[in-house]
Amino acid sequence: MRTVALSDTVSRESAGAGAAIEAVVIERSTAASSSADPFMTVQPVSKGHARAKTDKTCNVRIIVPFSLCRRRRSPVKGARRESEFGSMMDKTTLTFGEIALPADPFAAFGIWLRDAEASEPNDPNAMSLATVDSDGLPDVRMVLLKGFDRRGFVFYTNFESRKGEEIRATRKAALNFHWKSLHRQIRIRGDVEIVSDEEADAYYASRARESRIGAWASLQSRPLENRETLERRVEDLGSQYGEGPIPRPPVWSGFRVVPREIEFWHDGAFRLHDRYRLTRTGADDWTASRLYP
Ligand SMILES: Cc1cc2nc3c(=O)[nH]c(=O)nc-3n(C[C@H](O)[C@H](O)[C@H](O)COP(=O)(O)O)c2cc1C
Ligand SMILES: Cc1ncc(COP(=O)(O)O)c(C=O)c1O
């Protein structure tokens, strides 16, 4: 496997033992050499989690086919302008002015997430998560994307929180990424699966010890009498577990949003934005349509 990296990532890595941050490495996927499938995954970086956060670096690792590792804002090789097709769009390319993306939603998402990691000052993997309650009343809050591949987009939470209850009842959710520095938005809608216990255990184990205790201590979304009560719970659980292993709370796990639709939006002058909606038409078949802004 050959490793390629963004130039700033290389310098962080080569900063050596004293470097305070984890590198975000973009690696060639083994799948890329054997198949044209633009498979990609995001994996949590297991070490230096807390440091990565303080250093404003997204703690995800993107594995992306080498063929898709392009410089920011450079057009996809061979991309043609939409006008060359009359009113028809090139079915393999989404064009946003000078920017072009493959019309594969996961490949395109990976490229924009990577761009966001290079430009956003904080949490480029932050996304809003929309759910509805049993009355159809919507709710929305931020969560962090902790992985994605062709199966969907994964985040972790307390399953007895409001969002947890709502998702378990409806098995549907929507996500929104807005990267202000890039003037870009990605909207995702779909069905929701629960990640496997092995996947959740692996992610939980990668978290800072304090965050693992916090997952036990926080009865997320339920009324809390005062701050001291929470702090006492954290202290008691800390003494209970000592320096030993901390199991994953049974109510803390991951949801995977399996997309039916993914929309890519790029800001345009005078609100004449570019929008493409990619809609699932089969197990892994997608159709793209340009939308009025
Ligand atoms: C940037 C950001 C990222 C967050 N990430 C998560 C997350 O990944 N999981 C989580 O449970 N809560 C996360 N939160 C807290 C949630 O926004 C929310 O307050 C909490 O999950 C309770 O939501 P609920 O009552 O709707 O279930 C995050 C908050 C912010 C501002
Ligand atoms: C309550 C809560 N749980 C989970 C997360 C996910 O992030 P991490 O696993 O990096 O702590 C966050 C992030 O802000 C959070 O606030």
Distance, C-alpha 214 to centroid of its chain: 22
Report d(CA 117, CA 126) in Å as an integer: 11
Report d(CA 40, CA 28) in Å as an integer: 9
* Ligand found nearest the CA of 220: 1
128 annotated ligand-binding residue:
no
Percent of the chain exceeding pLDDT 90 equals 68
Q: Which residue lies with its CA nearest to atom 11 of ligand 1?
A: 157
Both tokens of 46, joined, read: 């297991």
Q: Which residue lies with its CA nearest to atom 10 of ligand 2?
A: 207
* Ligand found nearest the CA of 60: 2
- Whether the predicted pLDDT of 105 surpasses 90: yes
pLDDT of the residue at 182: 97
Confidence of residue 100 (pLDDT cuts 50, 70, 90): very high
pLDDT digits (tens, 9 = 90+) for 27-38: 333 333 333 333
pLDDT digits (tens, 9 = 90+) for 51-96: 233 233 333 434 333 333 333 333 444 444 444 433 334 578 999 9
Q: Which residues contact 243 (CB under 8 A, 6 or more apart)?
A: none
Helix, strand, or coil (residue 271): helix
Report d(CA 76, CA 114) in Å as an integer: 16
Domains observed in the chain: 3-291 (2.30.110.10)
- What is the residue-wise DSSP string for 89-104? PPTTEEEETTEEEES-
Burial of 290 per CB tally in 10 Å (0-12, 13-18, 19+): middle
pLDDT digits (tens, 9 = 90+) for 124-168: 999 999 999 999 999 999 999 999 999 999 999 999 999 999 999
Report d(CA 112, CA 281) in Å as an integer: 23
Could you tell me if 79 and 100 are in contact, meaning their C-beta atoms sit under 8 angstroms apart? yes
- Whether the predicted pLDDT of 272 surpasses 80: yes
- Interface ipTM: 0.99
